[in-house]
Structure formats: structure tokens, C-alpha cells
Amino acid sequence: MRWQSLISTQNLKLAWRRITTGRNLQYKRFFRESYLVYESAADDHIRELHRALAAEAWQPSHATRLYLPKSSGLQRPLSLLGIEDQIVLQAIANQFATKLYKKRQRVELATVFSNKLTSPRDSIFFMERWQAAYSAFQEKCTEAFDQGLRWSAHFDLSAYYDTISHELLLSIASSDNSEPDTINTVKEWLRVWSADNIAAMTGHGIPQGPIASDFLAEAFFLPIDTQLQKATFRYLRYVDDIRLFGRSENEVRKAAILLEQECRHRGLIPQSSKFDIRELNSAGEAMGSLPSIAPTDGRDTSEQSMTAKEALKILASAIGGKPQKVKDKARFRYVMYRAPEDGKILNIVLRLFPRHPEHIDAFVAYLSNYSRRKSIVSAAFDYLESGVPYSYVRGELWHLIAGLARPDEMRRGLTMAREDGRNRSRCIALSWGVMHFLMKCEAEGLIRDRRRLATEHSISRSLLAPIFTDREFSPGGHAATLLRGSLMEQLAGARELQKRNVTLTSLGLRQRDLATSCKTALASLGVIGRRHRVAERDWIAECLADLYGCNGRIIWREFLGTEYEHALQLLIEAKARFAGAYSDWLGLQDGFGDIVTRQLFDFLKRRELNGHSRTVGNDGKLVDYGNLLAAGTPFSIAYPVAATALRTLHDRRNKLPGSHPYDKKGGTRNKWLTKRERDLLVPQVRVALDELATVFEQNN
């Protein structure tokens, strides 16, 4: 591993892009706003990071660890790293991927099915979607059974990520030890990231959560994969879930002994409670159940919601028993992140969610569809009062209550919230959630206590910045603390100053009081440097011109108004996926078109111009975007070119398997977008957006 290659701006930029395109949504939810601000000046930030690394002035920061409940009743750790730490860790993983690419190809989809690298090697997408590889894993298990290998052993490892030796890991990528200083530096970084304080630092363990760690874990197991691929028995692995197949019990037992010896030789600990040898009776038994991998699903902006009827049908197949419990977690979580508001679904969810703390994030994602619902608030309070011991779950429940409860309902939770507030230092998720609730109580005049923010964890404080009251943006307020804090706090503070139109002067700060990284963020968002018209910089105009060759009119801030930041976030995500994830790009670009169209309708209505129709129905819900674009509507009559172009995009998006697996008319299987199709759609995007920009400019 060469130092210059590791810290090169090219490698660091690739690392950043792979972080932003990663599918680890559960992890990224803690950083989404920070990523957006960092992205607005990513080149400048990365140049500064490169200079610090080159001067050996950069220092890693300890991980902030939280624990998520598992179905077993135990917990899975999640290690939150600072943004620059994430970039450097991913840069290391990039080097491993380059070094081991050919060796990994020999085992990928043959014996190993997890965290498959994308092609080409320099793709901004680091690893392929897990679903396809896991399906191949199940097919191989079935194939082994069909070939007469009816005896099988299920082999699992205990605390796999925590037991990975830094020494052995780095020896895989640098077997010749040609740059010992680089290896020693990386080893020290790993020691810092493996612990949440200096006293807990060891020579083993990698942070769980970043996609970089997922591949480093694969790299660590590669010598075992290569060795066992040569064996006469069948060896198949998905992360730390290993299946051994043979023609007799003896053959499988010998295989298990060999595997155990190889693992212990590398300091890994087999989980004896999960070891099992048995004769298989069916291909279904050979496949087994979904392994206990970290969930990667979430409320993705590129996903299409399903109807209540569709959701109930899938939900019915995912639950069962008396009392009802989740029996198919993959199908259940899929529904929770896509189902609409519906009374029957809500009743099922409220019965289930105290029984499954491991799915709390999926439950909250669904329940957050509702604006105010007394039954949800009451159920959340009941769950808290039951004494649920998982700090992560308690934090999520406080978020839910803070978003849905009325002031009179909030009083019920004050005593519990104060108790959790005293214990919040044990978990960043609890800290974020309970402080959200207490700050809402303060805003409603129920309590007076803003001192807690001063002692809040830096990550929690940055996540809470969007709900700071206005008084925090005056001299002596906590907004000034953000701008002088960690990088994540600086990014959060800069974002809030931009959204609230607050100047440094009103905070009692001067530019020279701030770190370079903070000034870079403030300038990129237009908060400082106004005399150079940085504030007028239109990021959407630049992005559209760069991506699609649009005319670059500087009208989007005024056109989109309060929806500008929402639209910009979709566009940044679309840009990141344009080069490789064509279907994801289409979903995001279609979402951007939805925002633009609704804002245009509002503008046309205010100007009393033709082309608009109602965007909200009699039931108070938004009219479907497809209906706004339909042939024969006022919009399609007044602006046929733009309407046809946008409708083409939307219709193709509806025929993605992620939106609808089958075509509604013919019943044929829908297909993912190809590169050729994407290239044909780009002119449609350009034509539509340029026409809408012209309409706004000429009539404004």
C-alpha cells in the first residue's frame, strides 16, 4: 500500500463519491444533512484533507458507538465515524479493492456471495446490491442439495468485525512490507476507529456501519475462502454465515474441523451455539433463512410507494401466529418503508411494534407517514412506560412522539424524558431522540431548560440543529458553538445559517474566529462572501447544465422557493447515480420533476396563467404526479412538449421493478433502466426543464 496513492486527491474523491452512493441507509441517516453541505464544496474540503494528510497533520477521531437490538435479544454495534474519518477509511478500502480485485473475482459468486465489488474497478459505486448476490447464494445452496450433497453444517462467527486483527488484515494488502511507515500509520488509525475512547484501543476490530468496513471484512476472510475453495466438500459463504455441504455426516464434520482451525488461526471465534450438522430433507432446508446481516433498507427517495391493497397482501404473508409476530423480516421491512396511510395497516403495526424492537426503525418509518394520531402517541408512550431497555429504541420512540404529539399529550412523558435525559450519554440515538422531545416541550412552553445542549454530544448537537429555537442564533447562543465545534457541527451550523438567513455578525462572530473547513462550508452555501455574489450562486442551475446541458438560467432559487433545498438534495443524489445506477437516477430525476411541476403550477396560479390544475384533492392529499402530467390536462395542453417529456420519464420510472414488478397492462416483468435508455431520456430532461425555466423567466 503506497502512501502517495492512498492519500491522493483522486483516491480521496473516489472514496467520497463511494460514500455518497452507498446503500447503507441506516448508517447514512445520521449524516444526511452533513453530507449535503460537504458535497456543496467537496473539492475544496478534499483538497484540505489531502494537504493535512500529506503534512502528516491529520488525526483520526474515535468512533461513537451505539447498539441496535437484534431478534435474538442481543445488540448489534454501529460505529459512527466523523466524515473525514469515513473518507480516509474508504480510501483504505479502495486500495484493498484494487490490490485484491483479481483474487476476489476467483471466489465471487463461486463460493463467496457477500459484498461483491462493482465493475469497472474505478466505479463510483463500490459494491453491488446485496439482493442479487444473496439470491445467487441461495441458488448455490439449492444446487448443492440437487447434486446429492444432503449433509450440511451451518457455521457462524461470534463478533466477527470486532475480532479482525489489524496486523493480519494489513498483511493481506501489503505482504511484502515495502512501506512499513504507511502500514504503521494505517494500523494506528484502525486502533483509534476500533474504540470510542483511548483506554479501549486495541489491535483488533473495525468499525461496523461504513461500507468500507464491509469490504475490509471480506478481505480479511479471503485467505480462508481461497484455501477452502480447493476442498472436495462444498463451501459457501455470505458475510459470516457459512454453509458446508457433503455426502456424509463425517465429510461435513471434517470440513467443519478444518474451517474452525483456519478461523482460530486468524483469531476468529466460531459461535458454538449456532453450529449445527444435519441431514437435509429439502432444497428449502439447504437455503436456510436470511442471515443476520445489517439492514440496508430505508426510506429511499428513489422508491415508489405501494397501494394499501398491495401492502396488506404482502404484510399478511410476512406475519403470523398467535399473538401475531413477524415471520419474514425482509418482506415485512419492505412493506413498512413503502406502505401508505391506512387504518388496517396501522392497527397491525401498533399491535406488532412492542413485540419486535429489532424493527423499530421500520415501524417508525411507517408511523411517520401520519401527521397527528392519538393512537400512535399513546402506543409509543405505553412502549416507553413498559421499560423497554434498548436505548436505541427509546430514542426512536421519543422522535416519534416529538413529531406527532400535541402539547397536552407531551406532559405525559416529561418525567420519563428527564430520566432518559440523565442517562442519554450512554447512547447517541437516545440523546438525539430525548433531546428532540425536550426541545419541543420547551418550544411549547412546558419546560425551561436549555442548559442540556451545552453538554450534548457533538453528533447529537449537529443533528438537533434544525430544531434550534431562534434565540440560539443570537450572540451567546448554541449556533455559535456549532460553528466552532467538530466538522459535523460546522456543517450543520452552516446549513442552518443558510436556511434561516442568519449572518455571522448576528451571532457575534467574525470569519477569523472560524476554522478553514467552516469558512469553506459557509462560502459554498452563500452565507459569507456576499460581495462576490456567492449568495446568488445557483447550484441547481450549475448541476443541470453539467448533467444535461441545460441553458443554465439562474432562476431556480426563486422558482422553487422553500423547496429549493429539497430539490437540490434529489438532484445531487441523481448526479451521483447518473454514471452507473441508471434506475436509481431515473427515480430521483423523476422526483425532481415532480417538485418542479408542482411549483410551476403554484406559480401559474398566482399569475393567473393557463396550464395549472389542482395539486391537492378534496381529501387533502396530493394529487398523483402522473395525473398532473396526463394527456388532456391543462398542463399538457398549454405546454405539450414539456408535459410529454416529463410523462415519458415518469412512465418509464413506473416500469422499473422497484416501482412495480409487473406491467399493469400486459403483466410482463418490468426491467431495470439500461445505459442506452438513460442516454435517450437525457434530451427529454433537458427539453422539459429548459421550457419550464423559460416559462418562469418570461412571466416572472
- Residues 61-106: tens digit of each pLDDT: 999 999 999 988 889 999 999 999 999 999 999 999 999 999 999 9
How far is the C-alpha of 367 from the C-alpha of 651, rounded, in Å?
Answer: 29
CA dihedral 637, 641, 645, 651 (to 10 degrees): 30
Task: Write out pLDDT tens, residues 559-613.
Answer: 998 788 788 878 877 887 787 778 889 999 999 999 999 999 999 999 999 999 9
* CA atoms within 13 A of residue 389's CA, in its CB half-sphere: 5
Mean pLDDT throughout 464-480?
Answer: 91
- Give the separation between CA 417 and CA 394, rounded to whole angstroms: 10
Q: What percent of the chain has pLDDT above 90? A: 66
Residue 449's pLDDT band (cuts 50, 70, 90): confident
Cell of 596: 418542479
Nearest to 268 by CA among 204, 215, 225, 212: 204
pLDDT surpasses 50 at 642: yes
pLDDT tops 60 at residue 294? no
- Reading the block at residue 229, the C-alpha cell is 475453495
pLDDT for res 301: 40
Quick one: average pLDDT of 218-230? 94
Helix (H) or strand (E) holding 643: helix 640-654
Residue whose C-alpha is closest to residue 145's, from 291, 279, 289, 290: 279
Q: What angle do the packed helices 83-107 and 166-173 form, to 10 degrees?
A: 60
Contact 521, 494 (CB under 8 A): yes
CA atoms within 13 A on the CB side of 246: 17
Q: Are 688 and 646 in contact (CB under 8 A)?
A: yes
pLDDT-based confidence at residue 531 (cuts at 50, 70, 90): very low
Query: For residue 389, which phi and psi values (nearest 5 degrees)?
Result: -85, -10
- Tell me the pTM: 0.80
What's residue 450's pLDDT?
67
Tally Cβ neighbours within 10 Å of residue 551: 14
Q: Whole-angstrom Cα distance, residue 261 to residue 277? A: 17
Short-list 340, 342, 404, CA closest to 371 = 404
> Residues 454-477: what's their mean pLDDT?
91
- Per-residue model confidence as pLDDT tens digits over 316-361: 999 999 889 999 998 899 899 989 899 999 999 999 999 999 999 9
- So what's the pLDDT on residue 666? 64
Range 510-532 average pLDDT:
83
DSSP 8-state assignment for residue 234: E
Position 112 scores a pLDDT of: 95
DSSP string spanning 43-95? HHHHHHHHHHHHTT-----PPEEEEEE-TTSSEEEEEE--HHHHHHHHHHHHH
Residue 259 near residue 228 (C-beta atoms within 8 A) = yes
What is the model's pLDDT at position 374? 93
pLDDT value of position 143: 93
pLDDT band at 194 (very low <50, low <70, confident <90, very high): very high
Q: What is the pLDDT of residue 552?
A: 85
pLDDT score at 624: 92
pLDDT band at 32 (very low <50, low <70, confident <90, very high): confident
The full DSSP string for 125-185 is --B--HHHHHHHHHHHHHHHHHTT--EEEEEEEESTGGG-BHHHHHHHH-TT---HHHHHH
| Mean pLDDT score, 256-263 | 93
Q: Across 293-297, 381-385, 495-499, which has the greatest mean pLDDT?
A: 381-385
Tell me if the bond preceding 323 is cis, omega within 30° of 0.
Answer: yes
Rg (CA), the chain: 26
Would you state the cell numbers that stand for residue 268, as one nine-digit string?
Answer: 476468529
Query: 496: helix, coil or strand?
Result: helix
User: Which of 211-225, 533-547, 680-694 comes out lowest in average pLDDT?
Assistant: 533-547
- pLDDT at 255 (0 to 100): 93
CA distance 659 to 199: 49
Q: Grid coordinates standing for 548?
A: 444535461
For residue 69, cis peptide bond before it (omega within 30 degrees of 0): no
Rounded to the nearest integer, the mean pLDDT of the chain is: 89
**Residue 483 to residue 488: CA distance in whole angstroms:** 9
Q: How many CB atoms lie within 10 A of CB 422?
A: 10
Q: Are 355 and 388 in contact (CB under 8 A)?
A: no
pLDDT interval class at 473 (50, 70, 90): very high
Residues 6 or more apart in contact with residue 211 via CB below 8 angstroms: 18, 19, 22, 23, 24, 90, 93, 126, 127
Ramachandran assignment for 476, one of left (phi > 0), alpha (psi -120 to 50 degrees), beta (any other): left
From CA 503, how far away is CA 526, in angstroms rounded? Answer: 10
More confident: 293 or 396: 396
Q: Quote the distance between the C-alpha of residue 517 and its chain's center.
A: 24
pLDDT, residue 217, reads: 96
Long-range CB pairs of 268-271 (<8 Å, 24+ gap) are 268/157, 268/160, 268/163, 269/157, 269/158, 269/159, 269/163, 270/155, 270/156, 270/157, 270/158, 271/156, 271/157, 271/158
- Please give the Cα distance from 56 to 3 (Å, whole number): 11
Return the bridge partners of 234, or none. 245
pLDDT over threshold 70, residue 640? yes
The region of weakest confidence among 134-148, 188-202, 273-287, 349-363 is 273-287
Residues 385-411: what's their mean pLDDT?
95
Average pLDDT over residues 398-424: 94
What's the average model confidence in pLDDT over 41-62? 94
Note the pLDDT of residue 533: 41
